[in-house]
């Protein structure tokens, strides 16, 4: 089983609509969870951390379900500029100084 698994998409989203997608992780010891954004042929950039109680950052909402080992990202009122690949990222808990990236979910927002 992959450490971090995502639906590759693409999710084709009309501008202004809401889109949501999940990611599952296999390591129950993971303690920190993040969504990164990667534009085509660019470097990944941190979008937001994911907290146990769920959290919002503007139009973005992240949720964590530890029991089922998945995290989710919801984007409201999609903008054309939200078109990107969204990378689910987890650490390995107390052991190891690295982040593990999922393969990414591609989102295409269309007018």
Partner 1 sequence: EPEVTQTPSHQVTQMGQEVILRCVPISNHLYFYWYRQILGQKVEFLVSFYNNEISEKSEIFDDQFSVERPDGSNFTLKIRSTKLEDSAMYFCASSARGLAGALNTGELFFGEGSRLTVL
Residue ranges binding partner 1 (CB under 8 A) = 31-34, 38, 41-46, 49, 87, 89, 91-104
State the nearest-atom distance from the C-beta of 65 to partner 1, in Å.
16
Nearer CB in complex with partner 1: 78/88: 88
Question: Looking at beta carbons only, is 17 or 46 nearer to partner 1?
Answer: 46
Smallest gap from residue 102 Cβ to partner 1 (A): 7
CB of 77 to partner 1, least distance (A): 25
Consecutive H or E run containing 88: strand 84-91
Residue 51 or 80 having the CB closest to partner 1: 51
Contact between 8 and 104 (Cβ < 8 Å): yes
* 50: β partners: 33
Closest CA to 65 of 101, 25, 105, 95: 25
Nearest to 88 by CA among 35, 48, 46, 37: 35
């Amino acid at each position: 089983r992959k450490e971090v698994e995502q639906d590759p998409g693409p999710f084709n989203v009309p501008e202004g609509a809401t889109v949501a997608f999940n990611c599952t992780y296999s390591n129950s010891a993971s303690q920190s969870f993040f969504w990164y954004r990667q534009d085509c042929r660019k470097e990944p950039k941190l979008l937001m951390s994911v907290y146990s109680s769920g959290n919002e950052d503007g139009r973005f909402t992240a949720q964590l379900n530890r029991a089922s080992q998945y995290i989710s990202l919801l984007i409201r009122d999609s903008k054309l500029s939200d078109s990107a690949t969204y990378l689910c990222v987890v650490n390995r808990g107390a052991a190891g100084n690295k982040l593990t990236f999922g393969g990414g979910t591609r989102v295409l927002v269309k007018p």
